[in-house]
Chains A and B, each alone.
Chain A
Amino acid sequence: SYELTQPPSVSVSPGQTARITCSGDALPKQYAYWYQQKPGQAPVLVIYKDSERPSGIPERFSGSSSGTTVTLTISGVQAEDEADYYCQSADSSGTYPRVFGGGTKLTVL
């Protein structure tokens, strides 16, 4: 099976920058996607194709890619950004077309 690895938790103070990483062997060849999920709600797509931002997503959300690691960056974190964040991608062979990372709990201190 193919795995994407995320840190279980990240904590930042309001106004600081939060960086959440996602690692996977196929990430140099496959796009990554990021979702935000708040308690009791469905996930929301916040970044697609590594670094593109859907309409309606604040500019403080950005994405980047370097080798086998992709990073979701939230600049000027606000209390409302506290949520679980998941990366999603695929393996290089297409055997596993959609895989999610284990998720990262972002805590705003």
Chain B
Amino acid sequence: EVQLVESGGGLVQPGGSLRLSCAASGFTFSSYEMNWVRQAPGKGLEWVSYISSSGSTIYYADSVKGRFTISRDNAKNSLYLQMNSLRAEDTAVYYCARILYDSSGLDYWGQGTLVTVSS
């Protein structure tokens, strides 16, 4: 069974940093592209970042470019999101999601981890 489990969320002050992790199991992690997607309270989905299966290709949404860094460790079956210079508007549930093979769709999602940026 495919499982994605996020961790690392919490309360952080504006300007602070946080590192999210996503532990993958039930599939060959190194063969799949991955994404981070977030959802602010009561709002819609917002794509945050993409990383290819090898980690060689990376994309970011304009709203996080220069502040967030996506990475992965295929040996540990783990995806990461380093978030720096956090702002109140970064407050959201952060989901990691797997890309459906040969498409751009997201076929498996984790349960999400809440990040709250507040003083």
Contact = CB atoms under 8 A, between A and B. Distances in A.
B50 interface: yes
Contacts of A35: 45, 106
Interface in B9-36: 35
Interface string A13-42: 000000000000000000101010100001
A97 B34 CA distance: 13
A79 B115 CA distance: 32
Contact of A1 (B62, B95, B112): B62
B112 A31 contact: no
Interface string A24-67: 00000001010101000011110011000010000000000000
Contacts of B50: 97-98
Contact of A103 (B35, B45, B106): B45
A98 B104 contact: yes
A23 to B, nearest CB: 16
B107 A43 contact: no
B39 to A, nearest CB: 8
Interface string A79-108: 000001010111000000111111100000
Given A45-B106, A90-B104, A98 B111 contact: no
B104 A86 contact: no
The CB with the most chain A CB atoms within 10 A, among B44, B46, B103, is that of B44
Interface residues of A, number: 24
A42 B104 contact: no
Given A1-B62, A42-B112, A98 B47 contact: yes
A98 B50 CA distance: 9
Nearest to A41: B111
A48 B46 contact: no
Interface of B: 35, 37, 44-47, 50, 59, 62, 95, 100, 103-107, 109-112
Interface of A: 1, 31, 33, 35, 37, 42-45, 48-49, 54, 84, 86, 88-90, 97-103
10 contacts: A1-B62, A33-B106, A35-B106, A42-B110, A45-B106, A54-B107, A88-B45, A98-B35, A100-B37, A100-B47
